[in-house]
Structure 1
Amino acid sequence: MAQALLTTLLIIFVAGTLGGKLAARLHIPDVVVYVVMGMLIGPPGFGIIDIDPRSALYQVILLAGASFILFHGGMVTHLATLRRVWLSISLLSTVGVVVTAFVVALAASLIFHVPWLTGLLLGAIVASTDPAALVPIFQKVPVRSRIAHTVVSESAFTDATGAILTTVVLGVTAAGGIHPAAIGWRFVQLALGGILIGGVIGWVTAFLISENDRGLLREFTPMAVVLSVLGSYLVAEWLHTSGFMSVFTAGLIVGNARSFRLTILEKEEHAAHAFIDAVGLKFRMLIFVLLGSQVDVSALTVYGWRAVLVAAVFMFVARPLTVLCSLLPDRAAKWRRNEILFFFWTRETGVIAAALAGMVSGSGAAYGKLISAVVFVIILATLLVQASTTPRVARRLGLLEPRT
């Protein structure tokens, strides 16, 4: 069994490496090619690999991969930028999540003739953006700093609020109702709790690898990063708060250590970025090759064109409405028309939605197979259509910064 597992991992990494080279040649985001490679070598294609999405291995890869990628997203986000667009991010991750969920719910209930709560559950699952897809794109495409940091931060915060909304709707579906006060407390518990825990662990990590006399782990910076990622996620989850929010916050503190009067030497800073970047690449391969391998062809045959129609509403109706409701009220940010149009097109969905869909499917919720099928169609649509064209859209809108 161990050898079979290692063989599977070897095949995934070989396919991912070849896919990465092909993506570089075609000048498209690597995650898009990884998904296609997964479809080819998984059950939808030649059936060379087959990992049960309910297995512990699959869940570990999803959670650990998303955590490392989110941590890196926090590291490359500047606090000064967040201060200027905090209202936009707040609205995108609260009002925006609700708008997306309700628009998708309306579309699903009309197209599939399912109960409203089932449609709302689907909308809640796909309401969060995907850091695993977004962070790599903005690493390679020099989009204006303010826009890139806003989109990456949105992905971190919507992970928490999307998970909250999914949990609440699932609870309403199972129990028949939930008190509004419980919803508010759950939000505070998940979001603010994750920020607090991640802030503490991130500061301790930055302190231990800084240049001060007590920088005990300077020589072990990569290991300190691993401890920070796993520690911030697990402690937050043990205390019933948002692990993803905690990880992003920890990365934000480490990446902005100077703002907290801690100086990380250039050598250690480079080591941290190089390590997290290398680990993130491996997890990107694993996550998106596995996502491609999980496409249920039989379900797509049944729900096919209707699922594509819901995906179109999600991309071309829900996202623009979400952006307009979230960015226009923020007068201080002074968003320009071309920037708002770019936000319309930047709506990749992936790891978190897949994990939430797996959770809902495992709970035995009604219409679970339909929900899983539509979620994967939306994931594939946003990755294959939007992620692959993001660099071109940014260039056409004049949002690329000159390379130094």
Structure 2
Amino acid sequence: MSGAALLLVVLAAGLASQWVAWRIGLPAIVVLIATGLVLGPGTGLIQLGFGSHELTELIGLGVAIILFEGGMDLKLAEFRRVGHGIGRLTLLGPPVAWLLGTWAAHDIAGLSWGVSAVLGAILVVTGPTVIIPLLRQARLNKDPASLLKWEGIVNDPLGVLLAVLTFQYLTIGGGWVATLTGLLVAVVVAGVLGGAGGWGVGWLFRRGAVPEHLKAPVLVVMVLCVYWVSNLAQHEAGLLSVTVMGLVFGNLRLVERETLQRFKEQLTVVLLSVLFIVIPSQLQAQQLALLDWRVLAFIAAVLLLVRPVSIALATAGAPMRWQEKALLAWIAPRGIVAVATAGLFGPALVEAGFADASRLLPITFAVVIVTVLAHGLTLGPLARRLGLAARRSNGLLIVGATDWTLAFARALADLRIEVLVVDGAYQRLKAARMAGIPVHYGEILSEHTEHTLEVLHLDSLLCATENDFYNALVCKALGPRFGHHRTFQTALPKGAGEELRQLTVQQRGYLAFDAQADHATLHERLSQGWRIQSTKLSASFDWDALAGRLGEPWKDWQLLGAVEPGGSFRLYSKEQRFRLDAGWTAIYFAPEADRRPAVADSGQARADAASGTAAKIPQGSKEPTP
């Protein structure tokens, strides 16, 4: 197979695996590893033809970009909130895990002390390449998600450094003095090159020294340059340097930070897809034959002994909830960095006289597969069981506390749909608080709200303030978080001949309900006696019957949304239509006189003078109809 065809196969297989994982609700890493094993040892389709050293160097470039993107996502505001836990996980946790892992590798797996020490250092890492996609799918609360994210990103380069220094101690000599000196040099190199690199690129961007269309490419190249120069200064200091660079750059107050981070996230998805296909595909059958019952016992010890004891010792006396400690004690998936490091040091240790180092790569790979499967499949259920994650995403975030949005929120609450009202004016939230509606006081676009507001249980956004352009700004800012197809705003009022002056769909959210349902009209009709009502449809009283009973759309009534038989809410928009069937509950806005239309059989109308809701478009639902 030609190089171009091989690249195409890897890219297509990786992204297809990501899509399949999203459709069936499995962690993407699980599907990617399975695909890599099928295309590599299973069928022999992927044969790269690289030496192990060359492959490790190429993998290192990809991991450098991934770690930089992870570093950009580390916010100092998170450290101020859960810094007590982060410090313990990144300062106390690695040495404890290293010592326990070394003991387990020697006494249980039967490796020599030298190889055991290298393996123990390698398994310190928890891997942002694995943990970040898992966090995205599990919908964890902010505190435990921040702890796992910081641990994965910071410990990854620290684990590599520990492995490098241990390897140098075993093969080069020089004693503990040389080893500690190497550690100090690596930290200094990372602080100087990483910190200067992140600040310098930000300084250039802020002053317009780089044009907009070149900023993302320049940033990628600068990350790789810092990684390469750092490795020249101190072996394997590059990963720590790019992590520091990402941390510095991500916390600069740059206008283009969000745009650049979104680009890096998309690039990371592609890199993860490629790396988790390529690395499993290179595993050989003879390497798998080196695995025996002692390796299985070692893996069990890593899962059930090393990790729990490390977390217990590192977090002893910390002001953390026991639920968070329990989650941390179980969740520690290893990723690409562990495999790449083992692939580099295994052959080198064999050449240095450590014959049992030939087992280093297959054991590490086995740990990666088992931890990814065990932790990837249990993170969500365990977190929900411990009360640390949203059980489901089925609710509406309403921005703007007004009389109409309060009525809508009440109606949704009556239908048991999660709802949260956000407003920057404390007084406007008074009526919602008195009605028992969950509220958040603060500017929705502020950094404080970003780090404190829990919205994982909500999957749709309705921005309904009286400022239509602010609504558009919020929808564009929060569109990537909720999905642009679940981001709505009230309609913009139109005057005669003003069609061309309106915002395009690329500049705003989807218009909720109807193009005529602007802020002023909704409140005017509410004052005229219109109420938000709901009716459950049946086979004998279907949607056509209800629509005919209510009268002419918009003139006599307006559809706001619907609740499917399974309880999922959908906000209605003429730009995203859907069909209501028997068993659905229609939510509409109509005059008080129409609150109880006559329905047949069990299709009794439920009229609630309160609220409506918006939620996700679930898989398998009917396509919107024109």
Taking structure 2 as the reference length, what is the TM-score of the superposition?
0.58
Amino acid corresponding to residue 238 of structure 1 in structure 2: L
Amino acid corresponding to residue 344 of structure 1 in structure 2: A
Answering whether residue 199 of structure 2 is matched by residue 222 of structure 1, we say no
Structure 1 position 166, deviation (Å): 1.5
The alpha-carbon distance between structure 1 residues 289 and 104, as it changes in their structure 2 partners (threshold 3 A), is same
Cα pair 2:118 2:167 within 8 Å, conserved? yes
The alpha-carbon distance between structure 1 residues 364 and 108, as it changes in their structure 2 partners (threshold 3 A), is closer
* Further displaced range: 222-231 or 86-95: 86-95
Structure 1 position 372, deviation (Å): 1.4
| Aligned residue in 1 for 2:455 | 402
| Aligned residue in 2 for 1:14 | 12
Answering whether residue 327 of structure 2 is matched by residue 342 of structure 1, we say yes
Cα pair 1:94 1:161 within 8 Å, conserved? no
Q: 1:159 aligns with which of 156, 161, 168?
A: 156
The alpha-carbon distance between structure 1 residues 99 and 53, as it changes in their structure 2 partners (threshold 3 A), is farther
| Aligned residue in 2 for 1:208 | 204
The alpha-carbon distance between structure 1 residues 171 and 246, as it changes in their structure 2 partners (threshold 3 A), is closer
Cα pair 1:232 1:246 within 8 Å, conserved? yes
Q: Deviations over 1:235-279 (max 9, x none)?
A: 322221621121112222222112xxxxx22xx334312211121
Answering whether residue 293 of structure 2 is matched by residue 305 of structure 1, we say yes
Provide structure 2 residue ranges, at least 5 long, that are not aligned to the other structure.
390-453, 459-626
Structure 1 position 86, deviation (Å): 4.1
Cα pair 1:172 1:178 within 8 Å, conserved? yes
* Further displaced range: 297-306 or 273-282: 297-306
The alpha-carbon distance between structure 1 residues 142 and 77, as it changes in their structure 2 partners (threshold 3 A), is farther
Give SS of 1:295's match: coil
Cα pair 2:109 2:298 within 8 Å, conserved? no
Answering whether residue 271 of structure 2 is matched by residue 283 of structure 1, we say yes
Q: Deviations over 1:267-314 (max 9, x none)?
A: x33431221112111110111111221333333334233222211111
| Aligned residue in 2 for 1:46 | 43
- Structure 2 distance, partners of 1:55, 1:8, is 18
- Structure 2 distance, partners of 1:215, 1:137, is 38
Cα pair 1:349 1:378 within 8 Å, conserved? yes
| Aligned residue in 1 for 2:231 | 237
How do 1:93-132 and structure 2 match up within 5 A? 93-132=90-129
**CA RMSD for the aligned pairs?**
2.3
Structure 1 position 319, deviation (Å): 0.8
Amino acid corresponding to residue 248 of structure 2 in structure 1: I
Answering whether residue 171 of structure 2 is matched by residue 183 of structure 1, we say no
| Aligned residue in 1 for 2:364 | 375
* Further displaced range: 23-32 or 217-226: 217-226
Query: Displaced runs of 4+ in structure 1, greater than 6 A?
Result: none
Cα pair 1:69 1:280 within 8 Å, conserved? yes
Cα pair 2:169 2:175 within 8 Å, conserved? no
Provide structure 1 residue ranges, at least 5 long, that are not aligned to the other structure.
259-263
Q: 1:387 aligns with which of 367, 373, 376?
A: 376
Identity of aligned residues (%): 25
Amino acid corresponding to residue 234 of structure 1 in structure 2: W
| Aligned residue in 2 for 1:193 | 189
Give SS of 2:126's match: coil
The alpha-carbon distance between structure 1 residues 4 and 364, as it changes in their structure 2 partners (threshold 3 A), is farther
- Structure 2 distance, partners of 1:320, 1:75, is 29
Structure 1 position 159, deviation (Å): 2.6
Structure 1 position 351, deviation (Å): 1.4
- Structure 2 distance, partners of 1:141, 1:75, is 21
| Aligned residue in 1 for 2:340 | 355
Answering whether residue 233 of structure 2 is matched by residue 248 of structure 1, we say no
The alpha-carbon distance between structure 1 residues 389 and 228, as it changes in their structure 2 partners (threshold 3 A), is farther
Higher-Rg structure is 2
Cα pair 2:124 2:155 within 8 Å, conserved? yes
| Aligned residue in 2 for 1:261 | none
Structure 1 position 94, deviation (Å): 4.1
| Aligned residue in 2 for 1:73 | 70
The alpha-carbon distance between structure 1 residues 200 and 276, as it changes in their structure 2 partners (threshold 3 A), is same
Name the count of aligned residue pairs.
388
Answering whether residue 315 of structure 2 is matched by residue 327 of structure 1, we say yes
Structure 1 position 233, deviation (Å): 1.2
Q: 1:314 aligns with which of 298, 302, 310?
A: 302
- Structure 1 distance, partners of 2:372, 2:151, is 17
The alpha-carbon distance between structure 1 residues 384 and 294, as it changes in their structure 2 partners (threshold 3 A), is farther
Structure 1 position 51, deviation (Å): 2.6
- Structure 1 distance, partners of 2:384, 2:329, is 15
Cα pair 2:56 2:343 within 8 Å, conserved? no
Give SS of 2:292's match: helix
Q: Deviations over 1:1-51 (max 9, x none)?
A: xx7222111111121122112101221221111000000011x20111123
Amino acid corresponding to residue 63 of structure 1 in structure 2: G
Structure 1 position 68, deviation (Å): 1.5
Q: Deviations over 1:161-181 (max 9, x none)?
A: 322322232233335x54333
| Aligned residue in 1 for 2:532 | none
Higher RCO, Cα 8 Å, sep 6+: 1
If each structure's strand is expressed as a fraction of its own residues, which one has the higher value? 2
The alpha-carbon distance between structure 1 residues 140 and 75, as it changes in their structure 2 partners (threshold 3 A), is farther
Cα pair 1:142 1:402 within 8 Å, conserved? no
* Further displaced range: 46-55 or 18-27: 46-55
- Structure 2 distance, partners of 1:53, 1:387, is 30
Taking structure 1 as the reference length, what is the TM-score of the superposition?
0.88
How do 1:254-269 and structure 2 match up within 5 A? 254-258=249-253, 264-265=254-255, 268-269=256-257
| Aligned residue in 2 for 1:5 | 3
If each structure's helix is expressed as a fraction of its own residues, which one has the higher value? 1
Give SS of 1:198's match: helix
The alpha-carbon distance between structure 1 residues 191 and 30, as it changes in their structure 2 partners (threshold 3 A), is same
- Structure 1 distance, partners of 2:151, 2:192, is 18
